[in-house]
Amino acid sequence: MDSSSTRRQATRQKLYEAAVTLIAEQGFSATTVDEIAERAGVAKGTVYYNFASKTVLFEELLRHGVGLLTASLRDAADGVRSRGGTSVEALDAMIRAGLVFIDAYPAFTQLYVAELWRTNRAWQSTLMVVRGEAVAVVESVLREGVERGELSGEIDVPLTAAALVGMVLVAALDWQSFQSERSIDDVHSALSLLLRGRVSGHAG
């Protein structure tokens, strides 16, 4: 990567961080390009040089953020696979990776979850594509587990994958908003018990 494209990436990163913070604070409509530029410490023209509009900036922000999440989930699963771990261990590692991501990017996570339930946005189709990419990583581990006989063949893979991703997102937001004194290990342990089907009190 040459120095100009490295510089452009750094500028885009600054704009993403400024936009996500402002939009989380005051909403998309209330946030102006001027404010994003000011928060990022760049000229207004720089925003338009990098993104055609505020809407395009937000769409790319969603793509970028969910891309980082997807990569961290994939890396977690691959790490377990490479050392011969089970599918349940891979899923557990992905839960932790999700919590680490959400802990690092809380404002982005809040925005992403809020936007998932809105249907009238210009970026809805992009959001569905990137959501699908994140969930597909979990689906692939579930399918592998079924094929290996480690998981029940009765599992509804798409719904279970979506439920696991949803569990981590909602539990992590609840952790940060209402139970922030708890450690990431504590939250991970609680979700790990859910994953392993131990909520009923029967060890399995």
Q: Among all chains, which residue has been given the structure tokens 């404002």? A: 107
CA distance 64 to 28: 17
pTM: predicted TM-score of the whole model, two decimal places: 0.89
Q: State yes or no: pLDDT of 17 exceeds 80.
A: yes
Q: Mean pLDDT in the chain?
A: 91
Q: For the chain, how many residues are written? A: 204
| Nearest-5° Cα angle at 92, 86 to 97 | 125
Query: CA torsion angle for 158, 159, 162, 166 (degrees, to 10)?
Result: -170
pLDDT digits (tens, 9 = 90+) for 138-177: 999 999 999 999 999 999 999 999 999 999 999 999 998 8
| Cβ burial 105-138 (10 Å sphere, 16+ → b, else e) | bbbbbbbbeebeeeeeeebeebbeebbebbbebb
Asked whether the beta carbons of 99 and 194 are under 8 A apart, the reply is no
